[in-house]
Structure 1
Amino acid sequence: MIIVFWVVAGLMALMYLAAGTMKVVRPKPALQAAGMGWTEEVSEPGIKLIGLAEILGALGLLLPVATGIFEILSPIAGACLTVLMAGAVVVHHRRGEPVAFQVALTVLTLAATGLAVLATV
């Protein structure tokens, strides 16, 4: 089961790390130009905080299990990322945008959270 955790959680962590870094590094107009229409409704500091939450969640998903220190933080980080993605689903749905991608990421993040629980037992 630990191998499945590393595959799923590793892929999810890479995705969140990349997405979060992009939100932290790029200015709001560049994100809007890249097709992130939701950024129109969020302040620049808010976008940066979302990006920071994604980065910290990605690290929190993997590092506790990798180091064997406070392993309980891994499923907690996964749960927080799941809540973050559920919020993304709501925002995109409210804007009338397709939500299939966000729903899929929410489900995969929930799976990584469940696997994190199993990996820490």
Structure 2
Amino acid sequence: MDLALWIGAGLLAVVALTGGVSKAFVRQEKLAAAPGGEWTADAAPGFVKGLGALELLAALGLVLPAVTGIAPALVPVTAVCWCC
């Protein structure tokens, strides 16, 4: 079960990291031109950057508690909250 948790958390962290980096560091015009990113054209730039920051924090929350041993019970909680 521990291995399944690590695999699931790692995959979710990669997805969250990818989405967070693209929203936080890519220009909004480029995001709006990308397939699936059309919604960013109508959104405020701060909103898109804020979502990117939250996704970066989710990626950290999926990995750091288990790696550091500080509150490892937060890993499945973060995974469930991020998926729902």
- With normalisation by structure 1, the TM-score equals 0.63
Instruction: Show the counterpart of 1:86.
Output: none
Residues 1-121 of structure 1: pairs in structure 2 closer than 5 A? 1-35=1-35, 36-83=37-84
**Per the alignment, in what secondary structure is the counterpart of residue 39 of structure 1?**
helix
- Deviation per CA, 1:35-73: give whole Å up to 9, x if none: 201112311110001111111001101110111102233
Q: Is the 8 A contact 1:57 1:80 kept in 2?
A: no
Report deviation, 1:81: 1.5
Following superposition, the deviation at residue 82 of structure 1 comes to: 2.4
User: 1: distance between equivalents of 2:58 and 2:82?
Assistant: 6
**How many residue pairs align between the two structures?**
83
Q: 1:13 is paired with a residue of what secondary structure?
A: helix
Point out where structure 2 has 5 or more consecutive residues left out of the alignment.
none
Aligned residues: percent identity?
Answer: 36
| Alpha-carbon distance between aligned partners in 2 of 1:40 and 1:58, rounded to the nearest angstrom | 25
Normalising by structure 2, we get a TM-score of: 0.87
Segments of 4+ in structure 1 off by > 4 A?
none
Q: 1:19 offset after TM fit, Å?
A: 1.1
More displaced 10-residue stretch of structure 1: 72-81 or 25-34: 72-81
